[in-house]
Amino acid sequence: MTEYHRPTSRADALAALAAGGPRARPLVGGTDLLVGLRHHHDAVDAFVDLKGVTDLPEPVVVTDDAVRIGPTFTMGELVGHPVVRAWFPALVEAALTVGSVAIRNRASLIGNSCNASPAADTAPPLLVHGARVTITSLDGDRTASLDEFFLGPRRTLCGPGELVTRLDLPRPAPGSGSAFRRLTRRRGVDLATVSVAARVGPDGGLVVGMGAVGPRPLRTEVPGPVDLTDDTSLDRALDELLAVATPITDVRGSREYRLATLRVLTKRAVLAAADRRDPREMAS
């Protein structure tokens, strides 16, 4: 029989998770977890619903140099948040592709990260924006970059008895720009065949996050400046950035198609990100 806990304190939530072992799962929107249960992909002994916990970090806190996101911040809230929209356009573009409005109003950003799908739409922009997570257990807190956090398909640093309580997004340096692109089999509500987020830094360096082209979301970068007006230098940068991609063939697309379109989308995302840089702030 599956247990359902609805603790009101962080301590109780952590205790319930610790007591439940590997088959105890934190629950926020349930948009991945409940689907997995229905199809018997997931076996859960205990749900620990975080929506009643009063002493978790706030859903969203904006400071001068960062946005701090708590476990119950939904995709729907994210896409409407003025500071997130201003600072992290790639993340907003990505979140707007997650499911439908109804799904986004339930799904939490941290939950989406913890689900660790290789095709998670928000993972590429979070990676290029340098997100860090705080993992909490009864033993205390530890932090990791999101790049360290993703271990493999559905596997993260967050182990049994642990909870991701915070996700920090540093404010992008002035003169940088970001954009997100993805390819799907249809325009509405679909999983990515390929997704990519790009950030162009103030120095003209490129950071790219990629989804659905490896066992986990991938992040690579090339130092700046890259001359985006020169096809040869852009091609060389793309070669370098995309070398880590190892897509497979599945029902959503062939390896060959994914590799080809990854390059197309990365180029488009990079150019769109560059267009978004504030020219007054550019170092190069």
Kindly state the smallest distance separating residue 257's Cβ from other proteins, in Å: 5
Q: How many CA atoms lie within 13 A of 99 on its CB side?
A: 19
- Residues 57 and 167: their CA atoms lie apart, in Å, by 10
- Cβ proximity to other proteins: between 32 and 168 the closer is 32
Q: How far is CA 281 from CA 120, 176, 201, in A?
A: 31, 8, 10
- Please say whether the beta carbons of 124 and 195 come within 8 A: yes
Tokens of 142: 């530890």
- Residues 75 and 67: their CA atoms lie apart, in Å, by 15
- Cβ proximity to other proteins: between 41 and 142 the closer is 41
∠ CA 71-192-39, rounded to 5°: 70
Tell how far CA 94 is from the center of its chain: 9
- Cβ proximity to other proteins: between 220 and 261 the closer is 261
Indicate the SS3 state at residue 133. Answer: strand
Tokens of 241: 């950035």
Kindly state the smallest distance separating residue 192's Cβ from other proteins, in Å: 12
Kindly state the smallest distance separating residue 246's Cβ from other proteins, in Å: 18
Kindly state the smallest distance separating residue 203's Cβ from other proteins, in Å: 29
- Contact residues toward other proteins (CB under 8 A) are 39-40, 183, 185-191, 193, 251-254, 257, 260-261, 264-265
Please report, in angstroms and rounded to a whole number, the separation of the first and last CA atoms in the chain: 61
- Cβ proximity to other proteins: between 5 and 252 the closer is 252
Kindly state the smallest distance separating residue 187's Cβ from other proteins, in Å: 4
Kindly state the smallest distance separating residue 103's Cβ from other proteins, in Å: 12
- Residues 70 and 61: their CA atoms lie apart, in Å, by 8
- Cβ proximity to other proteins: between 58 and 231 the closer is 231
- Please say whether the beta carbons of 241 and 220 come within 8 A: yes
- Cβ proximity to other proteins: between 53 and 192 the closer is 192
Kindly state the smallest distance separating residue 133's Cβ from other proteins, in Å: 27
Kindly state the smallest distance separating residue 188's Cβ from other proteins, in Å: 3
- Please say whether the beta carbons of 164 and 110 come within 8 A: yes
- Cβ proximity to other proteins: between 62 and 264 the closer is 264
Strand extents, DSSP E, the chain: 3-5, 24-27, 46-49, 60-62, 66-69, 132-137, 140-145, 150-152, 155-156, 163-170, 177-183, 194-200, 206-211, 218-222
- Cβ proximity to other proteins: between 113 and 193 the closer is 193
